[in-house]
Amino acid sequence: MMARLILFLSLLCGAMSPAHAHKPSDSYLSLTAQGERLTGQWDIALRDLDFAIGLDQDGDGKLTWDEIRARHAAIGAYALERLKLSTDKGPCAFNIADQLIDNHTDGAYNVLRFAVACPTPMTRLTIDYRLFADLDPQHKGLLRLTHDGITSTAIFDPQHARQTLSPTAPDRWHQFATYVKEGVWHIWIGYDHILFLLSLLLPAVLLAAPSDNLRGAFIDVLKVVTAFTLAHSLTLTLASLSLIALPSRFVESAIAASVILAAVNNIYPLFRGRRPVAAFAFGLIHGFGFASVLIDLGLPKTSLLASLFGFNLGVELGQLCIVALFLPLAFTLRNTMFYRRLLTGGSAAIALVAMVWLVERAFDMQM
């Protein structure tokens, strides 16, 4: 029993993270190949660079353009020391062309533009990517490589720092598996999505009739999860295909608001037996949140539908793993005083955390 309690508490407490934890530390590397030459753009979060090499020279907690520009040489040297490109005939040489600033959904990024000269045409390109590997084991580098209209993608992390791509003949199965893996990863670190889902699932084992019927609890969970899946799959697809677009601040704020309402519903009924309907309605908003990740990752035009399906499949697999852990544990603990207190006290804590997220996201501030 104690082990089960610890596991359940760990799942909840692990979600109590800052507002932007839903979007992890990522950088975005785009390469365009033409013969023996490459042009590249590398978007790296300023907050990560500040932590790694120190950009805030006056220590006031704010970065100015002058502070960033004064560190351009250090930024370029730090980044390119951790990125190596090579063909079968040897290493490629870098030449930095420009550095700019751009905004992503999670803050400001330094944009490093560069040219690359390689010794031979790139039938095979080996990338060794180790940015922040010594500082953040969860950092990911998202690569998009374009060659004559053919796009290859890859995801780098400290465990997969060296990869070889064939720009002229990309491995479609590898790309599909990459998007599945990324979908699983983003639901597992998408703490707001997890808390929303758990808030809706917590009452399932108490509402099932009769209360000792695991099948009834499973059916109730199935209704909620299916409604959530259908809704976020719909908007994830539409947004990723650029058919619908919403401002990122509105989406992130609405996701936080959905967590608050789902948690409060466990204390004071708001949906009154319509949790699947609520899951569908709010799932539409959560789909836009998933889409922002997929858009940043980049969808290759030559395998757009397969990549979109792979990412969505990964999200669902990650979600099913959470449900598979939650349901047996919750059903075992359903008649204990601990679980009933968790339903109200835990839901209140979730609502409080989500309220902090809402304020941070709506007013673009840190608390």
Q: Using CB atoms within 10 A of its CB, is residue 196 exposed (0-12), middle (13-18) or buried (19+)?
A: buried
- Domain contains 125: yes
**Residue 214's pLDDT band (cuts 50, 70, 90):** confident
The pLDDT of residue 77 is 96
> Are 164 and 190 in the same domain?
no
Chain mean pLDDT for the chain? 84
Mean pLDDT value of segment 326-355: 89
Same-domain check for residues 159 and 135:
yes
Confidence of residue 86 (pLDDT cuts 50, 70, 90): very high
In a domain, 17, yes or no: no
In this predicted structure, what is the pLDDT of residue 210? 52
Summarize pLDDT for 25-49 with one digit per residue, the tens.
Answer: 789 999 998 766 789 999 999 999 9
11 assigned to some structural domain = no
Give me the number of domains the chain comprises.
Answer: 2
pLDDT for position 341 = 87
Assign 3-class secondary structure to the chain. Answer: CHHHHHHHHHHHHCCCCCHHHHCCCEEEEEEEEECCEEEEEEEEEHHHHHHHHCCCCCCCCCCCHHHHHHCHHHHHHHHHCCEEEEECCEECEEEEEEEEEEEECCEEEEEEEEEEECCCCCCCEEEEECCCCCCCCCCEEEEEEEECCEEEEEEECHHHCEEEECCCCCCHHHHHHHHHHHHHHHHHCCHHHHHHHHHHHCCHHHHCCCCCCHHHHHHHHHHHHHHHHHHHHHHHHHHHCCCCCCCHHHHHHHHHHHHHHHHHCCCCCCCCCCHHHHHHHHHHHHHHHHHHHHHHHCCCHHHHHHHHHHHHHHHHHHHHHHHHHHHHHHHHHCCCHHHHHHHHHHHHHHHHHHHHHHHHHHHCCCC
Amino acid 19: pLDDT: 40
Same domain, 166 and 184: no
Least confident among 61-65, 211-215, 315-319: 211-215
Residues 108 and 202 in one domain: no
Answer whether residue 93 is part of any domain: yes
Judge whether 285 lies within some domain: yes
- 8 A C-beta contact, residue 200 and residue 262: yes
Residues 263 and 330 in one domain: yes
CA distances from 338 to 200, 260, 264 (A): 18, 22, 18
User: Both ends of the chain: CA-CA distance in Å?
Assistant: 36
* pLDDT number for residue 42: 96
Average pLDDT of the segment spanning 189-205: 87
5 falls within a domain? no
Residues 164 and 192 in one domain: no
Q: How confident is the model at residue 205 (pLDDT cuts 50, 70, 90)?
A: confident
**pLDDT exceeds 90 at position 55:** yes
Residue given tokens 């550095």 in the structure block: 99
Q: Is-contact 41 30, C-beta < 8 A?
A: yes
The confidence band for 262, taking pLDDT boundaries of 50, 70 and 90, is very high
* pLDDT in the model for residue 299: 65
- 260 in a structural domain: yes
Mean pLDDT of the 122-151 span? 86
**pLDDT reported for residue 365:** 67
- The answer to whether residues 63 and 196 belong to one domain is no
**pLDDT band at residue 361 using 50, 70 and 90 as cut-offs:** confident
The residue-averaged pLDDT of 199-220 equals 76
Instruction: Name the pLDDT band for 84 (thresholds 50, 70, 90).
Output: very high
Say if residue 103 is in the same domain as residue 203.
Answer: no
Q: Domain range for residue 308?
A: 180-363
> What pLDDT score does 17 carry?
42
Res 70 pLDDT > 90 = yes
Q: Are 154 and 282 in a shared domain? A: no
Of 126, 146, 170, which residue is a domain's last? 170
Domain co-membership, 107 together with 184: no
Residue 103 within any structural domain of the chain: yes
pTM of the model: 0.69
- Single-letter amino acid code for the residue at 322: I
Widest CA span of the chain, in angstroms?
72
Looking at residue 195, what is its pLDDT? 92
Are 205 and 340 found together in one domain? Answer: yes
CA 180 from chain center: how many Å?
13
Whether residues 216 and 269 fall in one domain: yes
Each residue's pLDDT tens digit, 144-171: 888 877 777 788 888 889 999 887 666 6
Last residue of a domain, one of 140, 170, 200: 170
